[in-house]
Amino acid sequence: MGSRASDSCTPGRDGGGEVARVNVLGVGVCALGFDQALRIIEGWIDAGTGGYVCVTGVHGVMESLQDPSLREIHNRAGLVTPDGMPLVWLSRLHGFRHVERVYGPDLMLALCRRSIARGTRHYLYGGAEGVPERLARRLGRRFPGLNIVGGYSPPFRSLSPKEDADIVRRINEARPDVVWVGLSTPKQERWMATHVDDLTAPVLIGVGAAFDFHAGLKPQAPLWMQHGGLEWLFRLLSEPRRLAGRYLVNNPRFLWHTLLQGIRVRRYEP
């Protein structure tokens, strides 16, 4: 099965040393468990410096396969977590038996829960108009004492340089430790890579649909479908017109390309 990527993910203060990356069609996916991902992110917050986190599944890998600039963004990230079960299974086939799914919506809830005692400051960037406010209210009710210091729903159009600078200023003035980015792939990855050096927050995490899930606007797949690698089917049935192209085209292509990589017919360089 393919080859292990030579690079490692950025370790946290309590991350347990370097974390290997698994080369999945040229994207270096971090071989780690869920709790380890949390410790690394908390280490970044404690240190006041870190980077951005790409929570990546099949869709992100296939977008990166077609777009070298997006692949580079993933491979520059401090962490690329295995959001989908196919990436978990591939990592285990490479010998990393400890790898677990680091699912964006679960990561968001777990970090919020653990952050109350730590006083971590959260900012919500993304979603449609009104979604960050709705999400903040629901998270606040779920985790009393959670410190959400602001939110912003950007317009769907491209921002002018002045608008972009104003948003950066607005986020920095709120002094968050974590900026949650809910723009969907690949927009959120591009936004994080572009702004990571301008923002003072030590951690940026792209979690896509987690905003709509936790705001109560879209249903999540049952746990048995999530654990069985069938969440894509649930989402396809929930939003067939929007997601048919993504899943019915990307999933077979992903299987084909991973087969080519696995039997060493084709190399996929990071």
For residue 174, give the CATH number of its domain: 3.40.50.2300
Q: Which residue has the tokens 């296939």?
A: 62
In b/e form, how buried is each residue of 41-58, taking b as 16+ CB within 10 angstroms? bbbbbbeeebbbbbbbbb
The reported pLDDT for the residue numbered 14 is 42
Domain identity same for 88 and 169: no
Structural domain includes residue 238: no
Domain identity same for 138 and 51: no
Distance CA 186, CA 213 (A): 19
Structural domain includes residue 231: no
Single pTM value for the model = 0.91
Distance CA 143, CA 90 (A): 35
Structural domain includes residue 209: yes
The reported pLDDT for the residue numbered 7 is 59
- Tokens for 143, please give them: 């985790």
Domain identity same for 10 and 32: yes
Nearest CA-CA partner of 27 in 263, 209, 258, 216: 258
* Domain extent for 199: 111-214
The HSE-up count of residue 225 (CA atoms within 13 Å, CB side) is 12
Domain identity same for 96 and 117: no
- Tokens for 111, please give them: 């970090």
Distance CA 71, CA 24 (A): 11
Domain identity same for 115 and 210: yes
The reported pLDDT for the residue numbered 17 is 60
Tell me the CA distances in angstroms from 230 to 45, 60, 143, one per residue in order.
Answer: 33, 17, 29
What's the Rg (C-alpha) of the chain? 18
Distance CA 239, CA 237 (A): 6
Domain identity same for 145 and 204: yes
Q: Which residue has the tokens 């992100």?
A: 60
Region class of 218: left (phi > 0), else alpha (psi between -120 and 50), else beta: beta
Domain identity same for 78 and 121: no
Structural domain includes residue 222: no
- pLDDT band at residue 8 under the 50/70/90 scheme: low
Question: Does residue 194 carry a pLDDT above 60?
Answer: yes
Domain identity same for 94 and 116: no
Distance CA 192, CA 102 (A): 19
- pLDDT band at residue 156 under the 50/70/90 scheme: confident
Structural domain includes residue 160: yes
The whole-number average pLDDT for the span 95-121 is 96
Domain identity same for 91 and 119: no
The answer to whether residues 102 and 55 touch, using CB atoms and an 8 Å cutoff, is yes
The domain tally of the chain equals 2
Structural domain includes residue 84: yes
Structural domain includes residue 267: no
Domain identity same for 96 and 54: yes
Domain identity same for 31 and 65: yes
In b/e form, how buried is each residue of 16-32, taking b as 16+ CB within 10 angstroms? eeebbbbbbbbbbbbbb
The reported pLDDT for the residue numbered 183 is 93
Structural domain includes residue 166: yes
Question: Strands of 19-24's sheet, edge to edge?
Answer: 4-9, 19-24, 27-30
Question: Does residue 1 carry a pLDDT above 70?
Answer: no
- pLDDT tens readout for residues 56-77: 999 999 999 999 999 999 999 9
Domain identity same for 97 and 49: yes
Beta strands 178-182 and 147-152 are: unpaired
